[in-house]
Amino acid sequence: MSGKLSAAGAVLMAVLMALPAMAQNAPDSVQRLDTTVQRDLFDVAWRPVPGDSYALIVGGSGAVLQYTGRFFINLSPNITADLLGVGWNPSGTKALIVGDAGTVLEFDGTSLRAVQSGRSVRFEDVSWEPAGKYALISGHNGTLLSFDGTAFTNITTGMNEPIVSVSWRPDGRFAFLCGDFPEVLRYDPATGDVIKLVTGTIQFARKVAWRPDGNAAIVVGTVGNAFKFDGSNFVPLSSPTANEFLAATWSPDNKTAMLAARNGLLYQYEDGGAFRTLVTNTTASLRAVAYTLNGSYALAVGDGGLAVRYPPAETPPDIPPDGPVDYTFIYLSAAIILGSGLAMVVVAAFLFSRSRKREEEKRRLEEAEEHARELAEAAREKKRAEDDCGGKSAGDATDDGDGGDDDAEGVHDEKARKRRNREKRS
């Protein structure tokens, strides 16, 4: 018994000591999240308000979701158009959502309202100028509009192909545009000019994301093409896939970028290093990815309501997404679970020991009862034997008594005869 308890205690201590290492050496797997919807999701953006940040997600057939870091809230308006892009004003007071058939929606944190764009073109993306004065909206047929909250203004791009991605340099000096063409377009707000920058590929450069410090941008596209813009040139990166990249974003600390590709592929790129493949356990395409404000994790969304986060949650579910990581709850929970397991082992051992003891007592009682029955039977046999011997002795004594009576009767007769003779002589 004591040996079992010692072994269980050793296991408990070993597991508790291994918990920090287990947390630090977790496999490169994502955590699947339940969005409660099955519609394709096309874009995601975090509200830029520290302490009150949440993600706004848009998708097919008018899907609009709010992710609090713990659960999803369905905000979908009564529209059927596909919603393809979402962008928060830097103040965090409102967000613009764009989509098919010239759809533009404004979200004020509580409700959605439709904004009449006067266009029927398919809008693909929206990005606010860093000062928050206006937003750029891109779309098919080379469409590029500016929207200041009241009016839409056309910007000539000289393109006929869809422009599917817009990303402002953080200082607002210019914006990069990508689409169904191999060049990167640079929009200069000071002049209103849009010029082409050659990437060195003939494949489409479909997504672009500026690094938060403004010193570099990452550009990805079809056939696994990936480039880093270093301020002057587009430097090819050693791509880990030939699949089309669908999304890219930088972490707030400027050190890593997260990239998503078709068929459920997700990669983390260390700036100046290599790509690391993340295990998603799905072939559904991830179409958008965005880091939380403090970079604690990235949220990626895609086909069929798919949503994943990397790295997986390490904090209790009630801690906000931009809160600090605290392992105390994990260790305490593990200790409680393992302690409960140890207690169950102790109780089971005690019950087993008591059961064996009762079985032994029952066996001894049965043996004692059997021995008592044997002794009782032996006593009955002995009594029967004694009774048989006593009967024979009594018979012999009766025969002897009868002979004595005969002798006594003879003596009496003899005395009577002599008395009669004496009387005759007298």
The tens digit of pLDDT for each residue in 65-116 reads 999 999 999 998 989 999 999 999 999 999 999 999 999 999 999 999 999 9
**18 and 41, same domain (yes or no):** no
Number of compact structural domains in the chain: 2
Helix, strand or coil, per DSSP, at residue 83: strand
**49 and 173, same domain (yes or no):** yes
Lowest mean pLDDT of 6-20, 241-255, 329-343, name the range: 6-20
Q: Which of 311, 334, 363 is the last residue of a domain?
A: 311
Average pLDDT of the segment spanning 138-164: 97
pLDDT at 347: 74
Average pLDDT of the segment spanning 266-279: 94
CA 157 to chain centre: 46
pTM above 0.85, yes or no: no
The candidate with the shortest Cα–Cα distance to 234, out of 208, 253, 212, is 208
**104 and 253, same domain (yes or no):** yes
**210 and 74, same domain (yes or no):** yes
Residue 254 is given by DSSP the state S
**203 and 334, same domain (yes or no):** no
Residue 151 is given by DSSP the state -
pLDDT at 398: 47
Average pLDDT of the segment spanning 254-268: 97
Examine residue 140 and state whether it is found in any structural domain, yes or no. Answer: yes
Tokens of 313: 């949650």
Q: How far apart are CA 45 and CA 54, in angstroms?
A: 8
**114 and 192, same domain (yes or no):** yes
Q: CB atoms < 10 A from the CB of 23, how many?
A: 14
Examine residue 317 and state whether it is found in any structural domain, yes or no. Answer: no
The candidate with the shortest Cα–Cα distance to 126, out of 288, 322, 254, is 288
pLDDT at 366: 78
- The partner residues of 276 in beta bridges, in order of sequence, read 268
Domain around 389: 1-24+325-426
- The partner residues of 373 in beta bridges, in order of sequence, read none
pLDDT at 20: 45
Lowest mean pLDDT of 11-15, 195-199, 417-421, name the range: 11-15
Average pLDDT of the segment spanning 192-200: 96
The candidate with the shortest Cα–Cα distance to 106, out of 122, 120, 117, is 117
**129 and 216, same domain (yes or no):** yes
- Distances 79 to 35, 44, 95, 113, 302 between C-alpha atoms, Å: 19, 19, 17, 11, 20
- How high does pLDDT run on average in the chain? 85
Examine residue 320 and state whether it is found in any structural domain, yes or no. Answer: no
Q: Are 305 and 263 in contact (CB under 8 A)?
A: no
